[in-house]
Amino acid sequence: MSLVQHWVDGATFAGASTRTAPVYNPATGAVQREVALATTDDVAAAVAAAKKALPGWAGMSLAKRQQLLFAFREVINARKEELAAILTAEHGKVTSDALGEIARGLEVVELATSLPQLLKGEYSENVSTGVDVYSIKQPVGVVGIISPFNFPAMVPLWFFPMAIAAGNTVVLKPSEKDPSASIWLAERFQEVGLPDGVLNVVNGDKESVDALLDHPDVAAISFVGSTPIAKYIYERGTANGKRVQALGGAKNHMLVLPDADLDLVADSAVNAGFGSAGERCMAISVVVAVEPVADELIGKITERMSGLKVGDGTRNCDMGPLITKEHRDKVAGYLDVATADGASIVVDGRGVEVDGEANGFWLGPTLIDRVPTTSRVYTEEIFGPVLSIVRVKSYEEGLALINGSQYGNGTAIFTNDGGAARRFQNEVTVGMVGINVPIPVPVGYFSFGGWKDSLFGDTKAYGTQAMHFFTREKAITSRWLDPSHGGINLGFPQN
Ligand code: NAD
């Protein structure tokens, strides 16, 4: 069985670890390879390589860095089918969705190619007589990036191209469930000329994450994953004096007003609820229907659900399997919770007919109506193809529900009333809002991130906020000698 190793200092790195974890093909249920789990010393070797590469990389001209990012963009684009096949094999998502993930990741690489513009400082001439002040943006140093299983290419691409563009070097720790995409990306970047040690990949679990959080030479941590781990990462990383951004989990509501176009709503709910088997942090998991639309809407949603093909992502299907058997069982367990809590299961995804092998980690699209807001089905992040319907009487009741959620990642309103939509965008306590758009993932040149327990730290991912996170600003006050302004003055200069 092949072993996915680490990538350190521009080459495959075996490390000292004897621990490994299985990497499944979720569509067959079979272990297809093992992944090495790094030790603290393995992580230290990767950090040392990144530290060694830092002065050369930070000192490289913006033009040369930019050319490397252009070349990286080209090689990913030219070979995206190969990367998509890796995503499908290890994550299970269907090929079209894998290609969509790559396209969204490429957006950030494209943004990173504008590094000369993004890294510009400011300059004020003659702030005091003969004195100029200007600012420059310098890299923070070695950046640790820890990513989740659900976007094995896109989430790493949200961070490392921007970190590297800013002159930092990186140690990336991808999810151990689907590690190969990160290794593939590091190899491609190396092939187009990225200097050794600028991008390193360590595979591993908690031990490697803790090693990054505790290593004194790691200056900043970008994390994406579930809320409890995000909180832990933020607390431990900042306690160690690091700059940390930790993006967490989600429970995204779609508020449907009675004047909405219900066909558009049904299409959107199905796409956003079941795309990527609901394993998206921006998936819609709760439809909040302002009565009297719920019954009609459920009819339209179930009609569309009946046409969804579930199966192996390499075949012509709409939805693939879940990531592991344990996760599938956990998600399916919420159907029992729903029944016990008095909700009604409209479509039951257990026992779904699939175009794939019997041992795959399958759960079909599931729709649950009248979910009590006290039920765990409503309060917890399920992260699977389970869509809940909650019926409310008014906009205000729906808004209060959304604002009462622990999470604040994404939300959407569907209405034809511009005034209601405008009020919603102002009043809702969520970081990313869609208006008649179900998955409002901002494009690369805006920034991605939620509010409340969906983001710990004050900086979002990519967009201009990424350059803020990955650089330290230095303000320089300069005066070139003019003998007429010499002399003793113990106060601040005032004119
Ligand atoms: P996870 O929290 O289990 O794992 C994320 C990363 O943390 C992985 O690299 C993993 O190896 C590491 N990790 C796991 N347990 C750890 C521990 N005890 N100590 C230290 N590190 C640990 O998340 P996941 O299951 O891989 O991904 C799904 C979650 O990620 C969902 O909650 C989803 O909402 C969230 N997510 C959020 C966003 C966002 O932008 N907010 C994007 C994608 C996914």
Domains in the chain with CATH codes: 3-248+454-476 (3.40.605.10), 252-435 (3.40.309.10)
Ligand 1 midpoint to CA 117 (Å): 32
Q: Smallest Cα–Cα separation from 202: which of 37, 11, 83?
A: 37
Kindly give the interhelix angle for 418-427 and 395-404, rounded to the nearest 10 degrees: 30
Ligand 1 midpoint to CA 17 (Å): 22
What whole-number distance in Å separates Cα of residue 443 and Cα of residue 447?
8
Longest Cα pair distance anywhere in the chain, in angstroms?
Answer: 87
Residue 418 DSSP label: H
Q: Smallest Cα–Cα separation from 317: which of 77, 104, 80, 26?
A: 26
- Rounded (5°) CA angle 262-265-270: 130
- Rounded (5°) CA angle 31-88-199: 90
| Burial per residue of 249-260, b for 16 or more beta-carbon CB atoms within 10 angstroms, e otherwise | bbbbbbbbbeeb
What whole-number distance in Å separates Cα of residue 357 and Cα of residue 313?
11
Show the tokens assigned to 367: 């729709």
HSE-up of residue 318 (Cα within 13 Å, Cβ side):
19
Residue 393 DSSP label: S
Say what the pLDDT of residue 1 is.
86
- What residues contact residue 192 under an 8 Å CB cut-off, 6+ apart? 68, 71, 72, 74, 75
* Marked catalytic residue, from 109, 162, 269, 281: 281
Beta bridge partners of residue 407, listed in sequence order = 452
Say what the pLDDT of residue 483 is.
64
Residue 277 DSSP label: G
Residues with CB under 6 A from ligand 1: 146-151, 155, 173, 175-176, 205-206, 209, 224-226, 229, 247-250, 281, 381, 383, 409, 450, 454
Show the tokens assigned to 435: 């208006």
Say what the pLDDT of residue 470 is.
98
**Is the CB of residue 176 less than 8 Å from the CB of residue 205?**
yes
Say what the pLDDT of residue 61 is.
98
How does pLDDT run along the chain (495 residues), one tens digit per residue?
899 999 999 999 999 999 999 999 999 999 999 999 999 999 999 999 999 999 999 999 999 999 999 999 999 999 999 999 999 999 999 999 999 999 999 999 999 999 999 999 999 999 999 999 999 999 999 999 999 999 999 999 999 999 999 999 999 999 999 999 999 999 999 999 999 999 999 999 999 999 999 999 999 999 999 999 999 999 999 999 999 999 999 999 999 999 999 999 999 999 999 999 999 999 999 999 999 999 999 999 999 999 999 999 999 999 999 999 999 999 999 999 999 999 999 999 998 999 999 999 999 999 999 999 999 999 999 999 999 999 999 999 999 999 999 999 999 999 999 999 999 999 999 999 999 999 999 999 999 999 999 999 999 999 999 999 999 999 999 999 866 656 787 888 776
Say what the pLDDT of residue 486 is.
66
As to burial, measured by CB atoms within 10 angstroms (0-12 exposed, 13-18 middle, 19+ buried), residue 452 is middle
Query: Ligand 1, closest atom to CA 213?
Result: 20
Q: Smallest Cα–Cα separation from 433: which of 466, 456, 446, 445?
A: 446
What whole-number distance in Å separates Cα of residue 418 and Cα of residue 481?
60
Q: Smallest Cα–Cα separation from 242: which of 7, 40, 47, 55?
A: 47
The counts of H helices and E strands in the chain are: 16, 25
The residue whose two tokens read 């299961």 is 345
- What residues contact residue 477 under an 8 Å CB cut-off, 6+ apart? 127, 131, 132, 133
Task: Name the residue at shortest CA distance from atom 34 of ligand 1.
Answer: 249
Read off the pTM. Answer: 0.97
Query: Which of 207, 229, 328, 459 for mutating ligand 1's site (highest number of atoms within 8 Å of CB)?
Result: 229
As to burial, measured by CB atoms within 10 angstroms (0-12 exposed, 13-18 middle, 19+ buried), residue 312 is buried
Say what the pLDDT of residue 487 is.
76
Side chain identity at residue 132, one-letter code: D
As to burial, measured by CB atoms within 10 angstroms (0-12 exposed, 13-18 middle, 19+ buried), residue 5 is buried
Say what the pLDDT of residue 488 is.
81
The pairing of strands 386-392 and 366-369 is parallel
- What residues contact residue 212 under an 8 Å CB cut-off, 6+ apart? 43, 47, 144, 146, 171, 173, 218, 221
Side chain identity at residue 189, one-letter code: F
Q: Does the annotation mark 281 as catalytic?
A: yes
Ligand 1 midpoint to CA 280 (Å): 12
Show the tokens assigned to 119: 């890294």
Displacement of CA 163 from its chain's centroid (Å): 15
**Is the CB of residue 273 less than 8 Å from the CB of residue 282?**
no
Ligand 1 midpoint to CA 325 (Å): 17
What whole-number distance in Å separates Cα of residue 276 and Cα of residue 94?
7
